[in-house]
Each structure stands twice: as structure tokens, then as C-alpha cells.
Amino acid sequence: MMPNTMCTTPPVFSITAVARRFAALAFASAFGAAVIAAPASARAQGLPDFTELVEKVGPAVVNIRTTERGRTPRTGQGNPELDEDMLEFFRRFGLPMPNRPNPRSPQQPDGEPQTRGVGSGFILNGDGYVMTNAHVVEGAEEVIVTLTDKREFKARIIGADKKSDVALVKIEASGLPTVRIGEVSKLKVGEWVIAIGSPFGLESTVTAGIVSAKSRDTGDLLPLIQTDVAINPGNSGGPLINMRGEVVGINSQIYSRSGGYQGISFAIPIDEATRVSEQLRAGGRVIRGRIGVVIDRVTREVAESIGLGKPTGALVRSVEAGGPAEKAGVEAGDIVTKVDGRAVESSVELPRIVGGIKPGNKATLQVYRRGAYRDLSVVVAELEAERTVAKRTPDKDAAKPTAPVSSVGLAVADLTEAQKRELKVKNGVRVETAEGIAARAGLAAGDVILTVDNVEMTSAKQFDALLAKADKNKAMTMLVRRGDAATFLILRPPK
């Protein structure tokens, strides 16, 4: 039986409780009631009030629905509005798409528009330009924008950029409420931010949190703002707002193992998004620069072993034949450390920096090669669709090994002139046998060793002589070419 909460029995006070009560009264009498009230007041002052922000920015945040033409409805069982958002979630995170038509809903004729997904956006100016995520409008036949006053407009997609996940749409309206754009450079880790959007179709939902990190690398073209603001399917494309009522980001991604919000969300910095939207508005697409290299990160171990010091820059694994980098003299194994004087702190920064250079302009690359820095001038080309680079087949006329297997498990041979032309290298030695220490380091028959501890290899004889003089108790760093790609491998002595 549930306990009776309307008890009329007089309360019983213990002597200890009475003593504590009198002590508290005496303390308040001596020092004033303000002392007791102070902690509550301090706590109240420390808590942000978001009401004015929501009233100010909320009207400029919109709900975005999209439709596409299909053969059968794509909604699942249950609440149709919720299912629309869940479908957007499945698409966004690459999960299997459910296809369970609601038995209570009549089948729509082939070719009829089907509700596809829902997201959010915000109005940039009074003429009706709305910014959102590219994945929100991707593949849409029709885009419906709903304002907070419940007015609906069919929107026209001006442009969508998948690489940055930014899209711009236009509605035919005027005198609309707009957002103010903030400065991401002034955003600080730990400051309060809020998100407004339509999670699971719940329009004008406000969530709050703090900035957890800035310039977070997630593998995307742009570094992202990390927050702990609750973001769920349907929030995509909505604004991230600082305490001054300015938009500092576009809510775009979450990190989750369960499919729902787990305390980590990401937003596209608004300054980067604005640059993208300006190009979309001007020409419907984004023009980026490229130099034609495949890159990889530089590990701390490799950086220290080749004299670079710290793991910085981008390791060039391969160079596109006839591309800007090859024409400039960039070689596989180079480490790009600067572009026009701007430091390349990590490999992910190189495509971002080069992408921001206008095609046709010259740029100066600082590369680290065989223990020394050098500057190369490159003419930046326009980034096009990704290309598939054909892999070279091994040369059947490979030279035979000129020496037995060395102490590190390697037998090498000189490169033939045909192999040099095929690989487009001036020097190097070809691995004929790799076992023991060399095999454990990742070397394999057919690899081409370009350098050993920053010394360029010109012949098998030179290679064997270098190994004979090397300290057997020290690690050895080799720049190795495999097919079109180059990387550093470290041979460690047995313990």
C-alpha cells in the first residue's frame, strides 16, 4: 500500500535537531541574514539566463522539411513525424535504412512526393537566404521552410557543398527576421552556447551547454567546434549561438555509439560556413585549390628519427603525374611544413590551406627533404571530382639481388633504368628479400628504398656499405616507395 502523504501526526524533533536550529539562528543574528542568503545569490548569478537570447534569435530559426519522389512510402511504423527524422538519422550516420510501410497508411501512387527528412536552418538576411547543412537537402525534390509564425515557403536550393556540409536555400519573402553572425576567433572553450532547432520534429527546441573544444579535427574538410549541447536528428543545420546572441556555428554532427546524443556534438565554424555560402550564392558551387598529392600524417617517432623534431607537416605519400606538385618538384617522401609562410601543423591542414587558395595563383611550399628545408613554387589548380589513380604493375625485368640477405633481413638490387622511368625516381634500391627485422618493420619484396637515415640511396653497393657501418643497436629510418605511395618505416634492433 502506498504511504499516506497527508499525514496529520505532529512532527517529532530530536534534541540534536533543535540544537542545530538554535545555532543557525544565532549565527544569522550575529552576522546578518545576508550571509546565509549570499550563497544562493551567488549561485543565481552564476547561472545564465537564455530567455532573451531565445526571444531575439528564435524567430530567425526555421524548420526544413524535404521530400523526394519514390515508389513506396519510406516512413516506418508509429508516429510519422518522428519517423521522418529517424530516417534522416539513418541516412546521416550510414545505418541500414528501414523500409517498413505503415499498414494503416494508404500506399501513395508511384512518383508522388514522399516525406524524406527534417532539419533546421537560419535566415541570413531579410531577402530570404537560409543557411543549413548540405546533408539536410541532399537528394531533395522539394524543400519546405517553416517559420516560427507557422508560415510555410517552398525553397529553392542555391547550392550545396558536401565537403564542408554547408547549403544555401532561398525562399521568396521579405522583411524576415535574421541572425547576427559572430566571430569564431573570440569564442572561448568553456563559454556557454545554445542550440535552436527541430530535434525529432519538435520545432523551436532550445538546448544549452558549453564549448568543449575548438578546431577539433574529425577528418572533415573544416575543423569543427565541439560542444556538449544536446544535438539530435533534426537539429542538423540549426545555429549554435553565443551569449551575445550571435551565430558562431552550424550544428552538424554528433558522436554516438547508441544513435542518440551522448554528450558530444560538433558544429561547423560560422566564419568558414559564411565563406562557403558566399561562393554558393555567387556561383552555385565552391571553387577550391589543389596541388595533386596524397598525404599522410607525420608520427612523432618518424619526426624525431629524420631530424624534423616534432610531428608537424604533411607527409607526401604520392604525387599525381603531371599535376601541380610534380611540376613544382615535389617528391614522394617530402614533408610539407609551410604554405606561403603559414605553418602546416598537421596533415589535415594542408588541404584546408591549399583549398583556400584561388586556382591559378602561385604558392610557395616549404618542404623537408633528407634533413633540409627547401622552398618550391607551385601553381595551384582547381579541385575537381576525385580521380582514381591507376596502380603501376611491378617490373618483370627486375635486377637480381647483388648481395646476400643483410643483418636486418634485406637483400636489395639496383633499379633498372626502366624501373626508374616507371617510378619517376632518380635513385633508389629495390627490395628483393625482406625478412626478420625488415619484415617486422613492414618492408616487403618489390619495395623501393629511397633513403636511409636521410641519405639518398644510389646503388645496392652503397646500401650494403651503409648497413655494414651502421650501429646495430640503433634504429634505422627508411623512406620506402611502394607503388605510387611513399612512407617512412623504422627498423628497430632486436632487444
- Is residue 83 flagged as an active site residue? no
Using DSSP, state whether 210 is helix, strand or coil. Answer: strand
- Is residue 377 flagged as an active site residue? no
How far is the C-alpha of 168 from the C-alpha of 154, rounded, in Å? 14
Question: From the candidates 85, 120, 135, 334, which is the catalytic residue?
Answer: 135
Question: From the candidates 120, 198, 212, 236, which is the catalytic residue?
Answer: 236
- Is residue 135 flagged as an active site residue? yes
- Provide the grid cell at 29: 543574528
How far is the C-alpha of 204 from the C-alpha of 376, rounded, in Å? 52
Return the CA Rg of the chain. Answer: 31
Residue 36 backbone phi and psi in degrees, to 5? -70, -35
How many C-beta atoms surround the C-beta of residue 252 within 10 A?
30
- HSE-CB at 372 with a 13 A cutoff on CA atoms is 4
Tell which residue, 399, 388, 390, has the closest CA to residue 448.
399
Residue 299 backbone phi and psi in degrees, to 5? -80, 160
Q: Which residues contact 75 (CB under 8 A, 6 or more apart)?
A: 83, 84, 87, 101, 102, 105, 114, 115
Instruction: Please give the sequence-ordered ranges of beta strands (E in DSSP) within 438-475, or none if there are none.
Output: 448-452, 455-456
Longest dimension (CA), the chain: 104
Q: How far apart are the first and last CA of the chain?
A: 72
Q: Which residues contact 450 (CB under 8 A, 6 or more apart)?
A: 332, 333, 425, 427, 428, 456, 457, 478, 479, 480, 481, 486
Instruction: Please give the sequence-ordered ranges of beta strands (E in DSSP) within 203-313, or none if there are none.
Output: 205-216, 224-227, 239-242, 246-254, 265-269, 289-290, 293-296
Tell which residue, 449, 492, 450, 453, has the closest CA to residue 306.
453
Question: From the candidates 165, 414, 447, 484, which is the catalytic residue?
Answer: 165
Place of cell 531577402: 127
- Provide the grid cell at 60: 530567425
Question: Would you name the residues annotated as active-site residues?
Answer: 135, 165, 236
